[in-house]
Amino acid sequence: MKQNFEMKGQFIDLPSGFSHKWRHPSKGKVQLGVVRVQLRLLKLIKVNQACFGLKIWELVDYGNEIAVRTTSSSWLLVHDVKLKDAQNVFVLAFHPNNGDAIFMVRDHRQVYLYVIGEEKYEEIGEFPYENYDDNVKERAAGYLNVFTNMQPSWPSPVHDALIPFI
């Protein structure tokens, strides 16, 4: 018996202004992540020795219908900033609940929470590199990728209507 299988999916174009021209890893980084259940796309590109450009787009999603049919783009640019006085900066992940914050590594070792718009870096930790040579220390942070996965709290709260039966 042959089963019918219907494949569902949709290709989503990259945001306008994303640019396909740079391909060298030292020129920038692309990161996907989720913030408050919305897919985001980040591009970090080196402008010069002490400045990076940071752009973040959010996928416009209306349930089953992505906004491709209603707008010219399915991506909304939510941040477009310059990170000044920044050398050796790498993006680790999006903050899962704060759309204006990302986790970054600076100077190959320190982990920061960066609040976009306020240009505020808060050091929250560092990598334990004591046992590694300088080559590993300089390159490791650039190859890290973190995808934040939010799980519902456990145990799940009990709905009020069920309390009399417990």
Q: State residue 113's pLDDT score.
A: 93
* Digit-coded pLDDT (tens) for 79-100: 999 988 777 788 888 998 899 9
Q: State residue 76's pLDDT score.
A: 92
Report domain extents, the chain.
28-165
Residue pair 28/45 in contact (Cβ under 8 Å)? The answer is yes
Region of poorest pLDDT, from 3-12, 72-81, 82-91, 94-103: 3-12
Distances (CA, A) of 57 to 16, 48, 73, 74, 76: 10, 23, 11, 10, 5
Greatest distance between any 2 Cα atoms in the chain: 65
Residue pair 103/121 in contact (Cβ under 8 Å)? The answer is no
* Digit-coded pLDDT (tens) for 21-60: 555 545 568 888 889 888 899 998 888 877 888 999 999 8
